[in-house]
Chains A and B, each alone.
Chain A
Amino acid sequence: MRTKTLLLSALLGALGSVSVLAQTNVYSLNAVGYINVTLSPGFNIITDPLIASPDNTVNTLLNNSTHIYNGDVVYFYDASTGSYSSDDASQRATNANGWTHDGTNVLAPGIACWFLNSASSNVTVTFVGTVPSGTITNTLLTGFNLVGSVIPTSGDVVTNTLSGLTNYNIGDDVYMFNPVSQSFAEYVSSKRGTVGYNNNWSATSSGVGDPVTSAVYEGFFYLNTGATVNWVESYSVSQ
């Protein structure tokens, strides 16, 4: 299963992070891994389901001190205010990290952002960090939310055994963005749905069935048309 494969790959290096408290026989096991993110020319919606060190700011994840990202832009969306913020990688940035707004936006697990790749070909960036563990709730507010899975998993967003988003409101939409074609596929949960989980997903739009992510770093827009949705995901190293 793709999910398992992904998590297993994330476990690489886990041994180095095992700490043992001998006297109490309590063990702490963290899964450490990396993700290679392929950024297509133009717009991409990406997420980082790893806890980076020292933090998940743009400054840490996409440091532009050598100006390798000049011309690129990140856009973050605040669901609570319904507003965007952005940061430009630019030669005119006066900050040492090469971002005009100091790279302070945080791409934490569960959050996604737009990344505008100004290059004419694919660019690969690598995210490194610890796999989030335990039961984690990603709160999806009414309106648009720019999100991704909290844990590094891909596939069917609704029925995935680790990250299943099953408590959606009927009427909620998922907008998956294809960075190659630079176009959206819209997945609609509907009482009139005929496909996907509980036959609740409609094929009347460009998407068919449950929304599916093709990579662990792929984020999406979730349009919550009702009350707050708690997207609960859980993972433990033993899984």
Chain B
Amino acid sequence: MKKSLPIVVILLAGAVGVHAQGTIEWDDYAPKVPGDGFQITVWEPQGPIGQVYGNGAADVPAGTQTYTGVAIGGGNVGSGPTGYGNGNDYSIALYYGVGANATTLSPVPNAVTTFDTSGGANPANGYPGQWLTGGGVFVPVPGVAYGSVGTFQLYAWYNGGGTLTFAQASVVGSGDPYGLSTAANITLSGPPGVPSTLNPITSFSLNANTIPEPSTIALGVIGASAFLMRLRRKQ
């Protein structure tokens, strides 16, 4: 959640030399004051339309995106790529780059975990799609000082019971669901201000990562080729 106190940034010049490496609260989720709180939900693949991004009506802040199926985790028994209710089978990690709009991102140390598995229909117990339940996990971001901007993005993937890395799961056609949030430029605020969170990253879905079907264009090319060959034979 944000907690962006914009004015804080102005005051950070003197702080940089004291504690140069900025931190970010990467698991904060709870609804708080309007414009401040936020939560991210990660959903199962949304069918043939591919990945979907944006907050839904139940997210904070509320959005207009609609998702089908289930959110990742939540305690339902499941196994394999389709066991989306089994949070232990899915990992989520925070990646970062130095500066705004960085194109090369690396994992933030110690910012990786699996999804919530507490389960249950009672919202006090089960929070599908959210990866921790308590907030308060602050991780240092190497090379991004307080008051500086970094590029941040969430990576989520099927981990095969803890055996698959993101690189392995994201091989095209592997059948292992994975997805990335939209990337966001976030200024790392620190003392005297409150720490930054992942706001404004929004909810997102995984993609099924199945073997791609021939595209319409490819089918068209094949059809045209067959037609031309037939014409040549007639001639």
Asked if B33 is at the interface (CB within 8 A of a chain A CB), the reply is yes
Per-residue B-contact encoding for A68-83, CB less than 8 Å = 1, 0 else: 0001110101000011
Closest A-chain residue to B134, C-beta based?
A100
Kindly specify which of A88-96, A192-200, A229-237 makes contact with the partner chain.
A88-96
Residues of B contacting A225 with CB < 8 Å?
14
Asked if A114 is at the interface (CB within 8 A of a chain B CB), the reply is yes
Given A92-B123, A92-B127: A100 touches B191 (CB 8 Å cut-off): no
Counting chain A CB atoms within 10 Å of each CB, which of B37, B123, B133, B192 scores highest?
A: B192
Asked if B108 is at the interface (CB within 8 A of a chain A CB), the reply is no
Closest A-chain residue to B20, C-beta based?
A82
Asked if A41 is at the interface (CB within 8 A of a chain B CB), the reply is yes
Main secondary structure on chain B at its contact with chain A?
loop
Closest A-chain residue to B191, C-beta based?
A144
Given A144-B192, A184-B7, A184-B11: A100 touches B18 (CB 8 Å cut-off): no
Given A75-B195, A92-B133, A175-B192: A223 touches B33 (CB 8 Å cut-off): no
Counting chain A residues whose Cβ lies within 8 A of the other chain, the interface size class is 35 or more
Are B23 and A71 in contact (CB-based, < 8 A)? no
Asked if A217 is at the interface (CB within 8 A of a chain B CB), the reply is no
Q: Write the nearest CB–CB distance from A206 to chain B, whole angstroms.
A: 9
Q: Write the nearest CB–CB distance from B117 to chain A, whole angstroms.
A: 14
Asked if B135 is at the interface (CB within 8 A of a chain A CB), the reply is yes
Are B124 and A88 in contact (CB-based, < 8 A)? no
Residues of A contacting B33 with CB < 8 Å?
41-42, 71, 116-118, 120
Q: Write the nearest CB–CB distance from A186 to chain B, whole angstroms.
A: 6
A83 to B14, CA, bound (A): 16
Asked if A160 is at the interface (CB within 8 A of a chain B CB), the reply is no
Per-residue B-contact encoding for A162-181, CB less than 8 Å = 1, 0 else: 00000000000101010000
Are B138 and A73 in contact (CB-based, < 8 A)? no
A93 to B134, CA, bound (A): 7
A182 to B157, CA, bound (A): 39
Counting chain B CB atoms within 10 Å of each CB, which of A73, A84, A90, A114 scores highest?
A: A73
Residues of A contacting B23 with CB < 8 Å?
83-84
Are B135 and A100 in contact (CB-based, < 8 A)? yes
Given A144-B191, A186-B11: A85 touches B136 (CB 8 Å cut-off): yes
Cross-chain contact of B32 among A73, A84, A146 (Cβ < 8 A): A73
Are A43 and B134 in contact (CB-based, < 8 A)? no
Counting chain B CB atoms within 10 Å of each CB, which of A82, A85, A117, A143 scores highest?
A: A82
Are B18 and A71 in contact (CB-based, < 8 A)? no
Are A101 and B134 in contact (CB-based, < 8 A)? yes
Q: Write the nearest CB–CB distance from B13 to chain A, whole angstroms.
A: 11
Q: Write the nearest CB–CB distance from A16 to chain B, whole angstroms.
A: 38
Are B136 and A87 in contact (CB-based, < 8 A)? yes
Residues of B contacting A184 with CB < 8 Å?
7-8, 11, 192
A146 to B190, CA, bound (A): 12
A225 to B17, CA, bound (A): 10
Q: Write the nearest CB–CB distance from B160 to chain A, whole angstroms.
A: 28
Would you give 26 A-B contacts (Cβ < 8 Å), ordered by A?
A43-B3, A43-B194, A71-B30, A71-B37, A73-B135, A75-B194, A75-B195, A77-B191, A83-B138, A84-B23, A84-B138, A86-B25, A86-B28, A86-B136, A88-B30, A92-B133, A94-B133, A100-B136, A118-B37, A120-B33, A120-B34, A142-B18, A144-B19, A175-B11, A184-B7, A225-B14
Which chain A residues have a beta carbon within 8 Å of chain B's beta carbons?
Answer: 41-43, 71-73, 75, 77, 82-88, 90-94, 100-101, 114, 116-118, 120, 142-144, 146, 173, 175, 177, 182-184, 186, 221, 223, 225
A-B pairs, top 10 by smallest CB distance, nearest first, are A82-B19, A221-B192, A100-B134, A144-B191, A175-B192, A143-B18, A86-B136, A118-B32, A88-B135, A118-B33
